[in-house]
Structure 1
């Protein structure tokens, strides 16, 4: 069973998933706080390059299976043209302005 993006609890995370799934680069970048960081499988990555490679140039898509921590932790089936589909986990840090200052993802 999946959770529709519109039903996700945290507004910033909801907007992130919606932007990924609609391939809305401008919308996604608007959600990120200045100086935002990210990690993939426990290793910090260069945010802009990761977003380009893993989301936009490879048609990334998230199907959220569950959420916890007030909607800031997700388990999702993630697929893109590079790696196919895999079970992933996501954790988001949202600042006081409602922007994502960090996200971490990796295989679940």
Structure 2
């Protein structure tokens, strides 16, 4: 059962919705101007990563678990590059926007 619509952190909920809608404007609106990210504990250029892993790969993120503070998720993630996988996501917020997120295997 997906928790996508009931996530407790508004920025994280908006991030998941933007990923699933493949909506560039909505995704960038969830992030601080200097946001950063890691994938499998490696730093990536956020714009390049998002283009490859989200905007051109038909993603779907279905949240299965949310931490008590709403800043960590476990989700089924699907895209045209990797297929289906269980993923872990952690978010750091600054002034209500995501300033860093980390993705990796769950």
Shorter-chain TM-score tier:
over 0.9
- Residue 15 of structure 2 corresponds to residue 16 of structure 1: yes
TM-score normalised according to structure 2 size: 0.96
Q: Counterparts in 2 of 1:31-70, with a 5 A limit? A: 31-70=30-69
Q: Matches of 1:66 and 1:7 in 2, distance apart?
A: 11
Q: Secondary structure at the match of 1:71?
A: coil
RMSD: 0.8
Match of 1:103 among 76, 94, 101: 101
- Residue 2 of structure 2 corresponds to residue 2 of structure 1: yes
Stretches of structure 2 that go unaligned for 5 or more consecutive residues are none
In structure 2, the partner of 1:81 is 80
Matched pairs, number: 106
Stretches of structure 1 that go unaligned for 5 or more consecutive residues are none
Q: Which runs of 4+ in 1 moved over 6 A?
A: none
